[in-house]
Amino acid sequence: MSSDARHVRLITTSLLLGLILSSIDQTIVSTAMPSVSNELGGISLYSWVFAIYMLASTTSMPIYGKTADLFGRKKMYLIGLFFFLAGSALCGFAQTMTELIVYRGIQGLGAGTLMPIAFTILADIYPPEKIGKFQGMFSAVFAVSSVLGPAIGGTIVEQWHWGWIFFINLPIGIPAFFLLAFSLKEKKGNEKRSIDWMGAVTLSGAVISLLLAMVLIGNGQEGGVPSEWQSPRTIGMLSASTILLALFLWLETKAKEPIIPLHLFKLPAIAFGNISGFFVSAALFSAIAYIPLFVQGGIGLSPSQAGYLLSPLMLATVVTSSIGGRLISKVSYRTILLPSLAVMASGFFLLQLIDMDTPTSVIVLDLIVIGLGMGAVYPTLGTAAVRSVDPVNRGVASSSSQFFRSIGGTIGVSVLGSLLSHSFQTVFFAGFVFVCVGLLATVFLGKARLIPKATSDRDSSMK
């Protein structure tokens, strides 16, 4: 890739714009959806506006990662960005809830590439000693954008037509598309490589079946149907997911170009890093989902107040993500992750002590502790993944890291939602346990670290 300083700045700007799109979209849509459903009707389909986006983006992540390694990061990133922008434009013109769901699926197909491939490109264009700093910066931008989403969404719905929550993506994404198209130069390899189509189909089927089961379970909890875990359709989907996953793993051992090379999981940064990301995301997304529910139902805050209660959590991550980015080239990954996850676990332990009489200020402080712990976790896990492999596998490594986090968040919300029949305290204690499992997994990362002065493209060693 071109090392020209001007090109590198333009590439970085483009990727930052793409990251803003990815982070702001979810929160801006959440804020505006009540107004959207009032106009379009179809309240029974409300949750599918979010579910289809999640299904499409999560399922496509590992496929984008592998095809980016096969055919180039630039090509796959631009394809994904095109789908995201096309889906955004279509969503803004939707006339029915069914149309909106279909168009959100198109948007989700594009979203699956925005974060994984962005971090892969970062690892390609920056030397090891700088990658941590930029990983931290990208995480900070993600957190701030997520916080701004509700305010922007609320303003748009109040002042203009709700379609602008989607149209706003175009003036951000179109410049990002052309900046990357003209500034990123990749060398084209002469080797003929093929796609593992059977692996892609079986993996997609396994993931879709699993996530659909989780969505049904989650909807069941919202509707007061705790027996959804035992329903025939849920059991059928979970069984189908298990069978397809087993078939996928068998096919990957035979494929010439496997979608996810299984040998990568012999690397501690991939295997234990993904386990940690899975459980940390399960805890974090559950807090994001159920804290607003608790403060609305238990303390009596309004929906907007409950939404903004999460802002301190996201803003706290900015502080430690920046610190972690500067430390990552100086110490081992484990040295950053262990204290970070210990702080995050402490926050969840404090959170499970709250009750109806707990002041809002105390809940905010607990969330700040969680955010301070979380800030350095994702950038460090992402860096560990992409720097533990050869350049030809960086797309797969980055997308697998994002994939496990996404799956973990979805399963965590569904599983912990089933504990709501006991109490919110039980849910938050389960979150504490999940973070502790993630912390334990990082112990097995060993002394792996970023090597500041690499002498080859493989610039991370696993000791």
Rounded to an integer, what distance in angstroms lies between the CA atom of residue 26 and that of residue 447?
36
pLDDT tens digits for 163-207? 888 888 899 999 999 998 888 887 765 566 667 788 888 888 888
Rounded to an integer, what distance in angstroms lies between the CA atom of residue 104 and that of residue 371?
29
Q: Which residues contact 423 (CB under 8 A, 6 or more apart)?
A: none
Residue 44 confidence (pLDDT): 64
pLDDT tens digits for 209-261? 888 887 776 655 544 444 566 778 888 888 998 999 999 899 888 888 788 88
Same fold, 1-182 and 261-463: yes
Inter-helix orientation angle 97-125/73-92, to 10°: 150
Residue 154 confidence (pLDDT): 66
CA separation (Å) from 93 to 36, 48, 167, 303?
Answer: 12, 18, 9, 27
Q: Is the pLDDT of residue 457 over 50?
A: no
Chain centroid to CA 160 = 30
Instruction: Assess if CATH 3.30.910.20 describes domain 1-182.
Output: no
Residue 43 confidence (pLDDT): 64
pLDDT tens digits for 335-368? 999 999 999 999 999 988 888 888 888 888 999 9
Q: Is the pLDDT of residue 420 over 70?
A: no
Rounded to an integer, what distance in angstroms lies between the CA atom of residue 344 and that of residue 321?
13
Instruction: Please compute the mean of the pLDDT values over residues 136-154 and round it to a whole number.
Output: 70
CA separation (Å) from 420 to 297, 329, 364, 408, 423?
Answer: 12, 42, 21, 18, 5
pLDDT: which is higher, 373 or 398: 373
pTM, two decimal places:
0.80
Residue 451 confidence (pLDDT): 63
Instruction: Please compute the mean of the pLDDT values over residues 113-139 and round it to a whole number.
Output: 76
Residue 259 confidence (pLDDT): 82
Across-strand partners of 450? 460
Helix ranges restricted to H, 42-96: 48-71, 73-92
- pLDDT over 90 percentage in the chain: 16
| Domain segments of the chain as ranges | 1-182, 196-256, 261-463
Instruction: Assess if CATH 1.20.1250.20 describes domain 261-463.
Output: yes
Largest CA distance in the chain: 67
| Phi, psi dihedral angles at 332 (to 5 degrees) | -75, 160
At 386, is the pLDDT very low, low, confident or very high (cuts 50, 70, 90)? confident
Rounded to an integer, what distance in angstroms lies between the CA atom of residue 406 and that of residue 428?
19
At 434, is the pLDDT very low, low, confident or very high (cuts 50, 70, 90)? very high
Helix ranges restricted to H, 300-420: 303-308, 311-327, 333-351, 360-374, 377-386, 394-417
Rounded to an integer, what distance in angstroms lies between the CA atom of residue 167 and that of residue 121?
27
